[in-house]
Amino acid sequence: MHMSSYKEFHRRSIEDRDGFWAEQARLVDWHKPAEQVCDFSHPPFVKWFKGGETNLCHNAVDRHAAKRPDDRALIYISTETNEEKVYSFAELQREVERMAAIYQDLGVQRGDRVLIYMPMIAEAAFAMLACARIGAIHSVVFGGFAAGSLATRIDDAKPVLMVSSDAGMRNGRPVPYKHLVDEACKLAEFPPAKVLLVDRGLDKGFPRVEGRDVDYATLRAKHIDARVPVTWLESSEPSYILYTSGTTGKPKGVQRDTGGYTVALAASMQHIFTGFAGETMFSTSDIGWVVGHSYIVYGPLIAGMATVMYEGTPLRPDAGIWWQIVEKHKVNVMFSAPTAVRVLKKQDPAFLKKYDLSSLKHLFLAGEPLDETSHKWIMDELNIPVIDNYWQTETGWPMLAICRGVEQSRIKLGSPAFPVYGYDLRIFREDGTECGPDEKGIVGILPPLPPGCLSTVWGQDERFVSTYFSLFQDPVVYSSSDWGIKDADGYHTILGRMDDVINVAGHRLGTREIEEAVQAHSAIAEVAVVGVADEVKGQMPMAFAVVKNAADVDTAEKRAALEKDVMKTVDNLLGAIARPSRVHFITGLPKTRSGKMLRRSIQALAEGRDPGDLTTIDDPSTLEQIKAALAG
């Protein structure tokens, strides 16, 4: 393609939607071709490849196993248990069929939900692919999420089966899962009838619930020779549900279709990631997050690549572990998060020079805004293109990126660059008009959303409309809830969330969820949680709490003890990822006269910035208290 072609490529994807996506659809196998490429007759809902029948697992596994059975498909590496196992496409297909046979044995049918609560082990990938194979809908919940969070997701998805494990591993220590599973099933109103357990031997004495818990190894042996044909699904049938942090308590299940997602991933592997059959991709995420779904499990396999599934941290056994993996397995495409780069930046740079990284074409970073300093540092160290890209759980694949498979555009530090083909992405003022260059506004997309994006919120069509399409009515726009800005050359920068969702090491957490957890402590009357910029993790939650009884915090010792205890409460309710970096005790929180919390002002003070226009504040002394608390 000639060099000025990306603009043209993008323009065509918007102006000739049907023609463009019909071409992309040829990248995947169809059991039955689509009757209509884009059905947008009920906006903002859209159906892609209507009437077409396909299967995600067939496209990720079977079609490659038929042509290249011995090529590597799944490379499982755990630096926690020192295991490494490579599965060819043929072997992966057999394992997925065994898992699918186990599901059928346990009564799972097409359209049923299977909740997957697993560490980063090969069986977790088999569990996801087996759902796709038989038309069951998986809902992966990040392994180690607290029992309460797990229970609310169980009640929303109503799974017939949960797949879990005795334990995960982190930093050389087992993280037991089974007691969390049992507690979640007790808390839930609609617990699964069966729990399938992969026993890793990490938690020796874990209890089994008679009649409910079943052992994976036993059932795998029973179905060792099973052949389970794929179930062909209509393009719009759901493939999975993935819960994302909302600003309210009730979980929000992002529902993904089948055909649109398969095509979107296949196209993205070619145009954005330029990863091809026989190559290797290493995404350092977790299957509990969207990157793990799209670019550990489905995307690379659809492209016929080998994918690395890694259980471990970037620093164990040392800060060279990722680069050692790149050298050993000849990784061509790598995907990570800015947090990881900031962690590695603090280590000895010799680790980056120690290994042969000549196979690596480029590194992609997403999950939170990438700062220019980190971008420049990692690009200089690796001496390869580092591509910042921006997207959301909701979209399933990048919204802003440089599409190197189409044109090798210039990289601008700290910018995820241009709207990706298929996305009619614009920056809007709050009145619905479009921003000019260098004017901060809301990142929005003119519908229909391209293939692969969420089709609705699971079981809550009205919430899909009210959450994503109600910012303004003329035009109706999908709102990302992110602030952004575009420069004169068309390069975009993301400036952060409009709502109160914070991004801790690429994990999205609602400040409201953390506030509810802090408030669950009997001593706390009221609390505000804000995201505060953190050099390593992007953001960290910080809590400002009002106690019911002033005597509880009248000495430094009491304050320290209560702070620790509040953090423990958050750990128990939401998991350690949500633990505030600090809990400051004050006697009142800054609010407007109408009672709205001035979170932005609190956040500004916590980050040492000007708190802005405070003419609406009810009690200015509350800000002085926050300043005093921060000053210690």
* β-pair type (194-198, 213-215): parallel
How many domains is the chain partitioned into structurally? Answer: 2
pLDDT of residue 2: 45
Q: Please check whether residue 380 lies inside any domain of the structure.
A: no
State which of 223, 241, 257 marks the end of a domain: 257
Q: Looking at residue 516, what is its pLDDT?
A: 78
In a domain, 491, yes or no: no
**CATH number, position 543:** 3.30.300.30
Q: What does the pLDDT read at residue 278?
A: 98
Note the pLDDT of residue 596: 63
What per-residue string of b and e applies to 122-146 under the rule 16 or more CB within 10 Å gives b?
A: bbbbbbbbbbbbbbbbbbbbbbbbb
Residue 399 resides in a domain? no
Question: In terms of residue numbers, what domain contains 608?
Answer: 501-631
Last residue of a domain, one of 257, 279, 299: 257
Q: E-strand spans in 466-506?
A: 478-486, 492-497, 501-504
Cα 515 to Cα 2: distance, rounded to the nearest angstrom: 53
* Structure tokens belonging to residue 37: 């490429």
Query: Which tokens belong to 386?
Result: 């580092």
Does 493 fall in a domain? Answer: no
Is residue 471 in a domain?
no
In a domain, 79, yes or no: no
pLDDT at 594: 52
The residue from 257, 287, 312 where one domain ends is 257
Q: Tell me the CATH number at 252.
A: 3.40.50.12780
Where the chain has pLDDT below 50, the residues are 1-3, 247
Tell me, yes or no, whether 415 lies in a domain.
no
Q: Say if 273 falls within a structural domain.
A: no
Q: In whole angstroms, what is the distance from residue 526 CA to residue 519 CA?
A: 6
φ and ψ at residue 581, rounded to 5 degrees: -70, -35
